[in-house]
Amino acid sequence: MRTMRARAPTEDHPLFRWGLSLLAILFIASFLILPLVTVFQEALGGGFDAAWAVIREPDTLSAIRLTLITAAIAVPLNAAFGIAASWAISKFDFPGKGFLVTLIDLPFSVSPVVSGLIYVLVFGLQGWFGETLREHGIRIIFALPGIILATIFVSFPFVARELIPLMNDQGRDDEEAAVSLGASGWSTFRLVTLPNIKWGLLYGVLLCNARAMGEFGAVSVVSGRIRGMTNTMPLHIEALYNDYQYVGAFAVASLLALLALVTLIVKSILEWRYADEIAAVHHH
Amino acid sequence: MRTKSPLCTIISEAAMSLIVDSIVKNFGEFGALKGVSFTAPQGAFVSLLGPSGSGKTTLLRVLGGLEFSDQGSVHFADLNWLAVPARARRAGFVFQHYALFRHMTVEKNVAFGLSVKPRRERPSRSEIRRRVEELLALVQLEGLGDRYPSQLSGGQRQRVALARALAIGPRMLLLDEPFGALDAKVRKELRGWLRLLHEKLGLTTVFVTHDQDEAFELADLVAIMNGGRIEQYGSPKDIRQSPRTSFVDEFVEVRSA
Amino acid sequence: MSIAAAPSLVRWRNPSALPGFGLTFGFALFYLSLIVLIPIAALVIRPWEIGWSGFWAVLADTRVQHALQLSFGASLIAVVINTVFGLIIAWVLVRYRFPGRRVLDALVDLPFALPTAVAGIALSALYARNGWMGQPLQQLGITVAYTPLGVVMALTFIGLPFVVRTLQPVLVELNGEAEEAAATLGATRFQSIRRVILPMLAPALLTGAALAFARAVGEYGSVIFIAGNLPHVSEIAPLLIIIKLNENDTAGAAAIGVIMLALSFVMLLMLNLLQVWTASRR
């Protein structure tokens, strides 16, 4: 006798499935894909040469240079912090650990504009150290140091947040074994810990870099917005856009959009190909 | 290879028996069930016993409506059993990891089957509460109605799961290694308790396990399964005294008493 | 964690067998002090330079009130949209199989990875009157660019990943057993979803929504290009901070900043309480 094929209890009605899938795809298409496509479409609206010409302008090039320098300083510093903080948090017990972790999460709940504001309040002309700095001829706000500080603030949690749960999961056994065999702290870290955290570290650095290079609100506040000098790429995009140079603005924007896509692709590759390794390293 | 003892041929004439006929189930290339048949009288306690991968859980899930067989049929309670959707079968199912609804209290869990009935059939709230209390008393968990599953021990959770399955007035009870996640002492306790419960309620019960002692202690009829087939089916005594195949022989070898 | 006297002192000096505590903790603390603690302290302390009266004057300014209303109101609407569609998208991505699913899944992270200024000008161009989305909407009589509706669209864009990514692991964990149990107990598919699955997803949904809300309230770059930036109408709070800074009203800017920070803290606190409450029930 033949058995009737009904729907399994965990399956949805085909109409429901189609309807939901359609809704999901439409939403993603209109809210995520369209804006992305718009960037490239507007950039190449006047032909590739027009877009390329704007990128080669001196102001654009110096904006690119400033962005790269900022990232080159902020990201390694944040990585060092992330490693130090996660080592301290995962390998040791001390009171106030929860407070430390909350502090690290702080930039995520603060508006980017506020992130820039706080440095103006400390280092700006009317800031706490404003007078002292002016006397010594040191410019922080409206100059590179201010930009770097603001960028560090908004991007430092990424590495730490990636490493802390990872290292907590991995426990202390491996490191304690190494130390009991006579290894120094640095050797232990280099030979035992680092290989275990390498994927998490890479992941965190990737996200940190994306945020550092793309930050807009915080840098808006601390930068002098002087074209050719204190404009990062996002600020330069704004300047071009406000000047009605749409092709130019979108051309520079496409560079950052490409960076975003590369970040997403590398992130996905890391997740897909090394999922097993990452999972293995998580379960100790 | 079908194994039908003379006992089964006589019994299959009685109404209300469970008649499983040539069930085949494939998962892609893998043959989980390769033609499984057996018959049990109403109210019998049947155990499906075998190593992992033998198909016993798959067979149970087919009986419960959670899997669909590719071939074969099942008759029970005058119904073409496999043609009835899972939610209409009233086959109480108890999972190995309890599958209790974590966001509901014990009381709400047990009452669930009653509260989802269509309006016409649904008992009143006070009636539902009364039945839940009755069932909780039956499984010796009185007074724990307001607790959440996370506040209970493993043994208690499994008893809630059983109460929940019994609440719908099931025609048959299906248990998938229900004591597998519990420690040895609790397992033994619940084993004895389940047997008493079965004698009290008289429900046709199919019980999956890989633990021989459990199967032989609890069941009236045991099906030794291996590689998607029933190697032997009969009373525990029969199987111990006259193993039919070398697999059965080795499987029950250690306990010859 | 409470701090007793002598025992914890011993712990501070010797918190574990492993080396490097002094170095790593010291560096981390120094870094945090410089980058976070001192600047945040400035934010909390400085508004009071204009005294309580000055602070209240800032709060009482209707321009400030409207800006805060817009930032919070638009964020709320955007979060509601994200909750509904985030749930749909997470469900589809976890439970259904179709070609291109993995690509769509990776795309959900786009708002995380894309710089806000890039998103800002893209959304502005998209919803402008002659834009791909703006034009058909205009024909329906709906103007998006330079209106509060534009703000909502931008905030919907940046908030989506929070809901989806918070829901996905929970959905993955729901391995179907609860639904099977519900079915054997007689529930229809609809009843299973409504009474078993959705309640189990509720905490994750709320967490994702709260995260999206916190992000949306402070958002600047994605929004200022599409918002009209008209005072009292389409001006968001972060922009007001910048305007006050440009006017050299540092204390006023700090006052608004403190209000936004206080509201963020409240959200964080509520989030933590929510998580503690749900953890106790599971």
Question: pLDDT digit string (tens) for A56-113?
Answer: 999 999 999 999 999 999 999 999 999 999 999 988 888 888 888 888 988 888 899 9
Judged by a CB distance cut-off of 8 A, whether residue C21 touches chain A is yes
pLDDT for C15: 58
> What sign does the dihedral A237-A118-C71-C154 (CA atoms) show?
positive
Task: Report the pLDDT value the prediction gives residue A45, as an integer from 0 to 100.
Answer: 86
User: How far lies C98's CA from each of A22, A27, C88, C102, in Å?
Assistant: 12, 17, 15, 9
Tell me whether C178 touches chain B (CB under 8 Å): yes
Identify the DSSP state of B50: -
pLDDT exceeds cutoff 70 at C10: no
Task: Please tell me the predicted confidence (pLDDT) of residue C2.
Answer: 41
For the cut 50, the answer to whether the pLDDT of residue B167 exceeds it is yes
With CB atoms and an 8 Å threshold, state whether C185 touches B95. Answer: no
In this complex, the residue of C27, C116, C242 whose CB is nearest that of residue A221 is C242
Please say if the pLDDT value at position A273 is more than 80: no
Angstrom distance (rounded) from CA A181 to CA A201: 26
Residue B34 CB contacts under 8 Å (≥ 6 apart), including other chains: B24, B55, B227, B228, B229
Does C84 contact B at CB distance below 8 Å?
A: no
Tokens of A185: 């702290």
Q: What is the mean pLDDT of residues C21-40?
A: 89
Residue C259 and residue C71 in contact, taking contact as beta carbons nearer than 8 Å: no
Do C39 and A272 make contact, defined as CB atoms within 8 angstroms? no
d(CA A92, CA B129): 52
CB–CB of A97/C40 below 8 Å?
no
Average pLDDT of span A143-151: 93
Give the pLDDT confidence score for residue A109 in this predicted structure. 81
Contact residues, chain B, for A5 at CB < 8 Å: 68
Sorted by sequence, the CB contacts under 8 Å of residue B121 that are 6+ apart come out as: none
C7 or A141: which leads in pLDDT: A141
Contact between A147 and A223 (Cβ < 8 Å): yes
Asked if B84 is an interface residue toward chain C (Cβ–Cβ < 8 A), one would say no
CB A42 within 8 A of CB A247: yes
B66 Cβ under 8 Å from any chain C Cβ? yes
What are the tokens at C67? Answer: 């800006």
- Compare C192 and A183 and report the one with higher pLDDT: C192
Closest residue in C to B109 (Cα–Cα) = C182
How many beta carbons lie within 10 A of that of residue B226, not counting itself? 19
Contact list, C1 vs chain A (CB under 8 Å): 95-98
Instruction: Name every chain A residue with its beta carbon within 8 A of the beta carbon of B66.
Output: 8-9
For residue A281, pLDDT beyond 60: no
Chain A residue numbers with beta carbons less than 8 Å from the beta carbon of B65 are 9
DSSP string, B94-127: E-TT----TTS-HHHHHHHHHHTS-TTTPPPHHH
Decide if A79 contacts A157 (C-beta within 8 A): no
Partner-chain contact A8 B68, CB within 8 Å: yes
Nearest by CB to A234, which of C96, C117, C183? C117
What's the gap in Å between the CA of B63 and the closest CA on chain C?
11
A38-49 confidence digits (pLDDT tens) = 999 999 988 888
């602070």: which residue's tokens? Answer: C55
Q: Are the Cβ atoms of A1 and B66 closer than 8 angstroms?
A: no
Query: C98 and A110 in contact by Cβ < 8 A?
Result: no
C181: which 2 tokens?
């149990």
- The rounded distance, in Å, linking the Cα atoms of C28 and A104 is 10
Beta carbons of B83 and A4 less than 8 Å apart: yes
Residue pair B111/B167 in contact (Cβ under 8 Å)? The answer is yes
Say yes or no to pLDDT of B122 above 60.
yes
Interface of B with A (CB under 8 A): 21, 65-73, 80, 82-83, 85-87
* Tokens 């060092």 -> residue: A80
Chain C residues in contact with A77 by the CB 8 A cut-off are 31
pLDDT at position C105, please? 92
Chain A environment of B67 (Cβ under 8 Å): 8
C60-84 CB burial, b ≥16 within 10 A, e <16: eeeebebbbebbbebbebbbebbbe
- Given an 8 Å threshold on Cβ–Cβ distance, is A221 in contact with C88? no
Nearest to A133 by CA among A177, A141, B114: A141
The answer to whether residue B243 neighbours chain C at the CB level (below 8 Å) is: no
* Percent over 70 (pLDDT), chain C: 93
Pairing relationship of beta strands B172-176 and B91-94 according to DSSP bridges = parallel
Task: Provide the mean pLDDT of chain C.
Answer: 87
Backbone angles phi, psi at A126, to 5 degrees: -100, 15
Q: pLDDT tier at C109 (50, 70, 90 boundaries)?
A: very high
Instruction: Provide DSSP, C123-173.
Output: HHHHHSTTSTTHHHHHHTT---TTSHHHHHHHHHHHHHHHHHHHHHHHHHH
Q: How far apart are CA C198 and CA C205, in angstroms?
A: 9
Hey, of C174, C185, C198, which one would you mutate to test binding to chain B, going by the most B CBs within 10 A of its CB? C185
Mean pLDDT of A160-183: 86
Query: Which residues of B are less than 8 Å from C191 in CB distance?
Result: 116
Tokens 């300014």 appear where? C61
Residue B35 token pair: 């033609």
- Contact yes or no for A215 and C115 at CB 8 A: yes
C265 lies within 8 A of chain A by CB: yes
Nearest to B97 among C177, C186, C195 (CB): C177
**3-state DSSP: chain C helix, strand, coil percent, rounded to 5?**
80, 0, 20
**What are the counts of helices (DSSP H) followed by strands (DSSP E) for chain B?**
10, 10
Give B69's pLDDT tier (boundaries 50, 70, 90).
Answer: very high
Work out the percent of chain C whose per-residue pLDDT is above 90: 44
What are residue B173's DSSP bridge partners? B92, B205
- Residue A136 corresponds to which tokens in the numbers above? 């010594």
Non-local (6+) Cβ contacts of B248 within 8 A are B224, B231, B232, B239
* Local structure of B76: helix, strand or coil: strand
Query: From CA B89, how far away is CA B104, in angstroms rounded?
Result: 24
Residue A19 to chain B, least CA–CA distance (Å): 24
Contact C272, A101 (CB under 8 A): no
Cα-Cα end-to-end distance for chain A: 51
Q: Position C166: which residue type?
A: T
C62 interfacial to chain B (CB closer than 8 Å)? no
d(CA B236, CA B255): 12
Q: Which of B65, B66, B73 sits opposite A1 (nearest CB)?
A: B73
Residues of C in contact with A161 (CB under 8 A): none
- Chain C residue with minimal CA distance to A175? C18
pLDDT at B255 over 80: no
Place of tokens 């008289």: B202
Q: Whose CA is closest to A220, among A91, A128, A115?
A: A115
Residues A116, C198: Cα–Cα separation, whole Å:
40
**Pairing state of beta strands B71-76 and B18-27?**
antiparallel
- Taking the CA of residue B237 and the nearest CA in chain C, the distance in Å comes to 33
Helix (H) or strand (E) holding C116: helix C116-127
CA distance C68 to C255: 12
Q: What residue has token string 């499983």? A: B20
pLDDT band, very low/low/confident/very high, at C9 (cuts 50, 70, 90): very low
Quick one: average pLDDT of C7-32? 73
> Rounded to whole angstroms, what are the CA distances from C53 to B131, C56, C252?
65, 5, 12
pLDDT at A196 over 90: no
State both tokens at B150.
Answer: 């996370």
C interface test, pick of B96, B112, B166 with most C CB neighbours within 10 Å: B112
* pLDDT number for residue A212: 95
Lowest mean pLDDT among B16-20, B125-129, C182-186: B16-20
pLDDT band at C124 (very low <50, low <70, confident <90, very high): very high
- Candidates C88, C100, C107, C91; CA nearest to A23 is C88
Kindly report the length of chain A. 284
Round to whole Å and give the CA distance between C110 and C160: 10
Rounded to whole angstroms, what are the CA distances from B188 to B183, B184, B193, C101, C150?
9, 6, 9, 48, 66
Tell whether C106 lies on the interface with B, counting CB pairs under 8 A. Answer: no
Residue type for B105, please? T
How far A229 CA lies from chain C's nearest CA (Å)? 19
Residue A5's pLDDT band, with cuts at 50, 70 and 90, is low
Angle, to 10 degrees, between the axis of helix A233-242 and the axis of helix A246-273? 150
Pair of tokens at residue B237: 């005594």
For A52, half-sphere exposure in the C-beta direction (CA atoms, 13 angstrom radius) is 3
Among the partner-chain residues B102, B113, B165, the one whose CB lies closest to the CB of C200 is B102
